[in-house]
Amino acid sequence: MSLKAVHIVLVVVATIVIASSGAWLMQQALASGSAIDWMVAISACSAALALPVYGMRFLNGTRDVGYV
């Protein structure tokens, strides 16, 4: 398994964890109303949206690199 394959696994796991954390943090922000909580929640949701986009671009840009 090459670094490319492991990187894709990392992007998928990070997307799942950050998206779930984003939902949890959003709940916390709604409950507390704190500006820092909102900032962290919005950052998590943005990262969860940006990671799959990056992953697709990475896959398209490394078609010539193997998975083994």
Partner 1 sequence: MPTAMPDAMIPRTVIPYTVEPRPDTGLSNVKIGVWLFLASEVMLFGGLFAGYIILRVGSTDWLPGSAFGLSVPLAFANTLVLTISSITMVAAWISLLRKRFSQYRRYMGSTLLCGLIFLVLTGFEFAGRLRQDQYPSTHIFLALYFTLTALHGLHLIAGMGYNAYLWGPGSRMWETAPEQFTQRVEASGLFWHLVALVWILLFPMLYLL
Q: How far is the CB of 49 from partner 1 (least distance, A)?
A: 13
CB of 40 to partner 1, least distance (A): 5
Distance of CA 50 to the CA centre of its chain: 6
Least distance in angstroms from the C-beta of 45 to partner 1:
12
**Would you tell me which residues interact with partner 1 (CB under 8 A)?**
1-4, 6-7, 9-10, 13-14, 17-18, 20-21, 24-25, 28, 36, 39-40, 43-44, 47, 51, 54, 58, 62, 65, 68
How far, CA to CA in Å, does 9 sit from each of 27, 36, 51, 57?
27, 30, 12, 15
Q: How far is CA 8 from CA 2, 21, 23, 47, in A?
A: 10, 20, 23, 16
